[in-house]
Structure 1
Amino acid sequence: MARRPHSTQQRPPRAGAANSERQGTPPKAPVHLSPRRDPRQPETTDKIRVARIGAAHGVRGEVKLWPFTEDPMAALDYGPLETADGARRFEIESLRPAKDFLVARIAGIDDRNAAEMLRNIDLFVPRDRLPPIAQDDTFYHADLVGLSAATPDGVALGSVMALHNFGAGDVIEIALAGSDRTLMLPFTAAAIPEIDLKGRRIVVVMPAEVEAIAPAEPTERREP
């Protein structure tokens, strides 16, 4: 999820988390304008990434698991998890905390060699299996990816490509229309003052250092 608190900052989810909170005060971090990337795991709007399998743990088939949810143990609650393309499904039989990760036992994985074959697989849950979000200014990443982005004056910028968390707060990445670059901004109320899920759009206040790059033509601005 993507969460934007207007007062005390809660503990942010890990990078790639299923949700984030939009912050009221932007962090002191630079705005990045970078070449458009070719992600290994493209963002998907019908599935939420909840965890990544790490290295084998021990010799009995257990694996390290890196959670992307606010509740690290939540992967047990979602039922069978699957790869982004749905080609493989995994059932977590048990899950326990370790020092900096979780240790998971996955059904059908009984030895270290089989566990090593699962390294770096991302685990997803269908979007419709997740509950609605009760908190204000909190969003599932999948609900934000693909939204059109425009300035307050209605100048189209592009569309939301992804959300990240590199440790200093949530960052929104916008693929710029008519360009091979992306714009990465802090996911704050100052930078993103309006999010209209029904209208499939966000409003972006462009920082002064990148205001000149707005590449697209004006578009009609919808009333919230």
Structure 2
Amino acid sequence: MARRPGGNTPHGDGGRRARPGRIGNDAATSAHRPKPEGDVALPETDPSLLRMGEFGRAHGLNGEVRLKSYTGDPQAIATYGPLIGGDGRRVELTEVRQAGGAAPDLLVARVKGVADRTGAESLNRLALYLPRERLGAVADEDEFFTADLVGLTVVDPDGTVLGTVADVPNYGGGDLLEIKPALGGATALLPFTKTFVPTLDIAGGRVVIDPPEDLFAPAGPRPPDEPA
């Protein structure tokens, strides 16, 4: 979950905060409830489950695997008990730690029953879900489930459609909205603050942003005398 802070920076006071499976509006990606064992619906089509994270490539030779966490406290993803894989399997995280680098939401995890690289590789791109009821109710008006933000239509204050929310990443400086432009091209990142994202209408399937003029502008060439 993420929280959207107020003010002009991602760290403004009174912001919306991200919680496990939740995201607030200061801004960090799909919702979905497991049925009894033996009758498990695929999470991608079950709106009562929240997407908590997604496995990446294997890490080393002893069963560890990289994991992108979508919880407010990234390592809290391991504290909610067994999760549901995107293919319906039960997944139990036994240990997580932050991966190297500045991004706090990139972890290295161990999974119960996975002890070698082959097993870890089989988890690559597997999304992890949790029932909404196991997270409790949203306690703050500026808190949201990350899952509920991804896929929202992005419009400007005049109602012009600019794109859709593709992800809500956090690279250590606050939650961001990753916006896929309606006209195609590379995605753009926008701080998830009340300044840039004044209105969220989850029920209506849209988010109103006040974007900078160069939001979708490609990065220009570096001046010859600018150091690399």
Q: Which of these residues, 30, 35, 43, is aligned with residue 44 of structure 1?
A: 30
Cα 1:9/1:165, change in 2 over 3 Å: farther
Matching residue's letter, 2:3 = R
Following TM superposition, by how much is the alpha carbon of 1:194 offset from its aligned partner in structure 2, in angstroms? 0.5
Correspondences of 1:131-210 after superposition (within 5 Å): 131-210=136-215
Matching residue's letter, 1:44 = S
In the alignment, the residues of structure 1 paired with residue 76 and residue 180 of structure 2 have an alpha-carbon distance, to the nearest angstrom, of 33
Following TM superposition, by how much is the alpha carbon of 1:99 offset from its aligned partner in structure 2, in angstroms? 9.1
Compute the TM-score of the two structures, normalised by the length of structure 1: 0.62
Cα 1:96/1:149, change in 2 over 3 Å: closer
Where 2:144 maps in the other structure, the secondary structure is strand
Matching residue's letter, 2:128 = F
Following TM superposition, by how much is the alpha carbon of 1:210 offset from its aligned partner in structure 2, in angstroms? 4.6
- What are the Cα deviations for residues 82-133 of structure 1, in whole angstroms up to 9, with x where unaligned? 1x3x2543234x3376897565351x33x43554434645441145354332
Following TM superposition, by how much is the alpha carbon of 1:80 offset from its aligned partner in structure 2, in angstroms? 3.5
Contact 1:55–1:119 at 8 Å: present in 2 too?
Answer: no
In the alignment, the residues of structure 2 paired with residue 63 and residue 95 of structure 1 have an alpha-carbon distance, to the nearest angstrom, of 9
Contact 1:50–1:75 at 8 Å: present in 2 too?
Answer: no
Where 1:165 maps in the other structure, the secondary structure is coil
Following TM superposition, by how much is the alpha carbon of 1:167 offset from its aligned partner in structure 2, in angstroms? 2.3
Compute the TM-score of the two structures, normalised by the length of structure 2: 0.62
Task: Work out the percentage of aligned pairs sharing the same amino acid.
Answer: 26
Following TM superposition, by how much is the alpha carbon of 1:172 offset from its aligned partner in structure 2, in angstroms? 0.7
Matching residue's letter, 1:148 = T
Matching residue's letter, 1:91 = E
In the alignment, the residues of structure 1 paired with residue 118 and residue 143 of structure 2 have an alpha-carbon distance, to the nearest angstrom, of 38
Superposition RMSD in Å: 3.7
Where 2:176 maps in the other structure, the secondary structure is strand
Cα 1:131/1:57, change in 2 over 3 Å: farther
Contact 2:5–2:192 at 8 Å: present in 1 too?
Answer: no
For 1:79, the equivalent position in structure 2 comes to 82
Correspondences of 1:8-23 after superposition (within 5 Å): 8=13, 18-23=21-26
- What are the Cα deviations for residues 143-176 of structure 1, in whole angstroms up to 9, with x where unaligned? 0111122111222222212111122222112222
In the alignment, the residues of structure 2 paired with residue 99 and residue 113 of structure 1 have an alpha-carbon distance, to the nearest angstrom, of 17
Contact 1:57–1:103 at 8 Å: present in 2 too?
Answer: no
Number of equivalent positions = 183
For 1:5, the equivalent position in structure 2 comes to 5
For 1:32, the equivalent position in structure 2 comes to none
